[in-house]
Chains A and B, each alone.
Chain A
């Protein structure tokens, strides 16, 4: 038992996977008896992992005691823990929400029976992605999370959800193949799969460049980067609302996370400059394109899904901002890095909250037509508040967490004279106001027509909890930056106070 307490990171994967098996065996009954312990144990494991990290710094966990190159290693550092924190916070909110989400009809019970095992499985595999330090293990975790995600999308049983899920499945499998191709090329040259081991021996050559190209394509598809984002809106908009929340907040971050790790830790930095600029351009295009389409949607969930396309663009803007500072004697790279990670965190919290709120509103009206939202603000003030708070963070307005992210990235863009990126970020923020206020202004109107069905308070609380978090992280960013310091190189940690 003491060794289990000494290795809390194991529980971050083991508890959800175990819960998946248990809830599958239990036919979906006694869900409270499973869900609450899962939340408690995962949160405890998360707290212990965070404590261990702050206590002793970044560390490597060898699974089963096997040492690389044969064994698989996990790496617990600031970046991993911040992402794990995101999955824990969002996972807890989504789990509580889902307790009340499903109805009592036979069909609904049937959906719920499969929801829990799949969701726990997804949770566990996402945590595995964030912990992993091994390029093949990433492939396995990505496939697991992808399959679980598709199955969750198709739970809603609408034809659009089925085809949306299928399109996502085919793209996800193709993306994994590209990634796997890169993995085999790297293994063929260097004979190891361990990220640290590879980073020590990697050098600039043609096959490495090819591996970088195909792995980037794979991760761009996974992270729904423009122009391979087209699978995202139908898949995210037609899934059941708690699933949409998880997909937008967490699943797409998996691809981004791997890309970030590869860019900062694996590829020789002189190889990444052109690639970074390319990713930045696509990210910028995603911001404009996604926001434009979000403004044009007539339904709530497609609007939020297109907003995800736009917000993911910011994540890829961090790459050119980071590379501009590779050789500069200042903190630009560090700021861009911290800002990008903060964007992943803030978008995860805010977007999960927004999708959960959308689920509440759809529950209340029975449709997600924007026009049907009129008057709901007065009936559901808590949900309206949650949407407003999450919206503040998405728009990048202080004190939302999104402001911290955009502030850091904007300061780099403007100090280094990259006016294009700065302009795109500012315009993107205004466009976010444009599409979000299409929701808010309808919630504000007084005319109240249409059916109304009182949604569960638990759902409202879960959405509000995530919205409050998205503001709380905007008011106090220092704890996160304190965590990020651990294991950061002196180049990426300058701004956070890491000294060489």
Chain B
């Protein structure tokens, strides 16, 4: 049992064990739970940090546990793992802080934080999985552990959202299972490999491999909310804000997108996919989703629903990037995985703050909120401008590389999609900013909590301000050694 074997397991256990202990201690012991939560999150950050440093130096961390005859469960840290797990570990810490403030005094917090920890475990597992079976195990764990969070409020509406969430995602899982079993049947057991594990398959299998590719990608497309498989996402917005923030900005949709990255790059290999003409269909679907999500977002008045449709649109940038055959597109897609997470979580934090502090849920009600909550709206503004793609913020970096990728791969029509989408982004985000900053409030604020020293609770304020700052920093310092874009370059260097 070497350190290299233990580390990936330890990264999972920090949140898994935390979850179990939280479920076991009494509902009323708030302090103990808070300490546990924060300790778990911080320790996980540190462990991921160690892993990042090791992988950067070319070290190989791998946990391999026999599962079936000839088949292992594999946890392995590679470049992509680091990209995704650093994002999740960091945002988990912030979201935990946020959730502690957000849920103060509400019932069933034990269940919430317990399953919240399991969700993060599952997300980490998805990022660390070293083969399809392991990936599938954690992917399913993510589905099941998210369910209690989606239905957390226990109302009829949240129950319906939960049911629709399950129906969509488990339907998708059935497709993945079918594709995976089929693939193992013809290819035997294999692990994820940089530049693809299937490139050497005999030509007579190419027809079957194409069908399997479609099964896997459409199965994963459900969680990644690709049109027309996206309907569960806006419905799931009935969940509490921290759930919307972490799960819908990061864990669930990203697990789908990340799975697609794994299938395209580490199972099939991008060159092999390109050779079999499998990529174009998904480029088109991603483009449709980008435009469709933005158009739907345009007409939503409910704040969280507008953000949800914006997520539908933004997540497809990742798919668009990774299906363009060329390093620049790939870099754009991968880096957007991180950038979109940081920006979108900021927005959900802000929406949650406004809902929690002032009980405003509709965009038309936000008049003058900027004067009452300048820090929150400031953070939101940064994130929104980032999403639109204003330089030098994070979103600009993504879009720039996507644009380069489009030119490089010869699909110049994608540039039009990107331009249109940016226009649409501006069209649905700028009115929010105008309403919040420049309109006069209709009347006195409907506040239940007395106003403290800050515009809202400190627990609620720190996370969005931090992520907004990150949005600026990873844009400004894109050239520095630990920026996401550098990691994306590193990964792409190994994949092509």
Contact = CB atoms under 8 A, between A and B. Distances in A.
A and B touching (Cβ–Cβ under 8 A): yes
A325 to B, nearest CB: 13
Contacts of B162: 441, 444
A392 B144 contact: yes
Interface stretch (B39-47, B178-186, B252-260, B463-471): B178-186
Given A381-B111, A398-B136, A445 B182 contact: no
Interface string B148-180: 100101100001001100100011011001100
Question: For the complex, would chain A's binding face be called helix, strand, loop or mixed by DSSP majority?
Answer: helix
B170 A430 contact: yes
Interface in B106-126: 107-108, 110-111
A477 interface: yes
Contact of B181 (A392, A411, A433, A441): A411
A381 B23 contact: yes
B68 A407 contact: yes
Nearest to A426: B174
A449 interface: no
A495 interface: yes
A419 to B, nearest CB: 10
B291 interface: no
B181 A397 contact: no
A478 B69 contact: yes
Question: Interface size class for chain A?
Answer: 35 or more
B66 interface: yes
B163 A414 contact: no
A429 interface: yes
A408 B23 CA distance: 34
B159 to A, nearest CB: 6
Contact of A397 (B66, B140, B151): B140
A481 interface: yes
A444 B155 CA distance: 10
Contact of B185 (A415, A475, A477): A415
Contacts of A392: 144
Contacts of B173: 397
Interface string A374-399: 00011001000100100010000111
Contacts of B166: 433, 437
A447 B156 CA distance: 11
A145 to B, nearest CB: 32
Given A410-B177, A429-B174, A430-B174, A398 B159 contact: no
A377 B110 CA distance: 12
A486 B140 CA distance: 34
Nearest to A392: B144
A315 interface: no
A457 to B, nearest CB: 14
Interface string B7-31: 0000000000000000100000000
B333 to A, nearest CB: 28
A249 to B, nearest CB: 23
Contacts of A422: 178, 181
Given A397-B144, A441-B151, A446-B107, A477 B67 contact: yes
A399 B136 CA distance: 10
A312 interface: no
A446 to B, nearest CB: 3
A408 B181 CA distance: 9
A339 to B, nearest CB: 10
A245 B379 CA distance: 56
Contacts of A495: 69
A496 interface: yes
Nearest to B70: A495
B140 A398 contact: yes
Contacts of A410: 177-178, 181
Interface of B: 23, 66-69, 107-108, 110-111, 133, 136-137, 140-141, 144, 147-148, 151, 153-154, 159, 162-163, 166, 170-171, 173-174, 177-178, 181-182, 184-186
Given A398-B133, A407-B68, 7 more contacts: A411-B181, A414-B185, A422-B181, A430-B170, A430-B171, A441-B159, A446-B108
21 contacts: A377-B111, A378-B111, A381-B23, A381-B110, A388-B144, A398-B136, A408-B68, A411-B181, A414-B178, A426-B178, A430-B170, A441-B162, A444-B151, A444-B154, A444-B162, A445-B151, A445-B154, A446-B107, A447-B154, A475-B67, A481-B68
Interface of A: 377-378, 381, 385, 388, 392, 397-399, 404, 407-408, 410-411, 414-415, 422, 426, 429-430, 433, 437, 440-441, 444-447, 475-478, 481, 495-497
Query: 4 tightest A-B contacts by CB?
Result: A446-B154, A415-B185, A398-B137, A410-B181
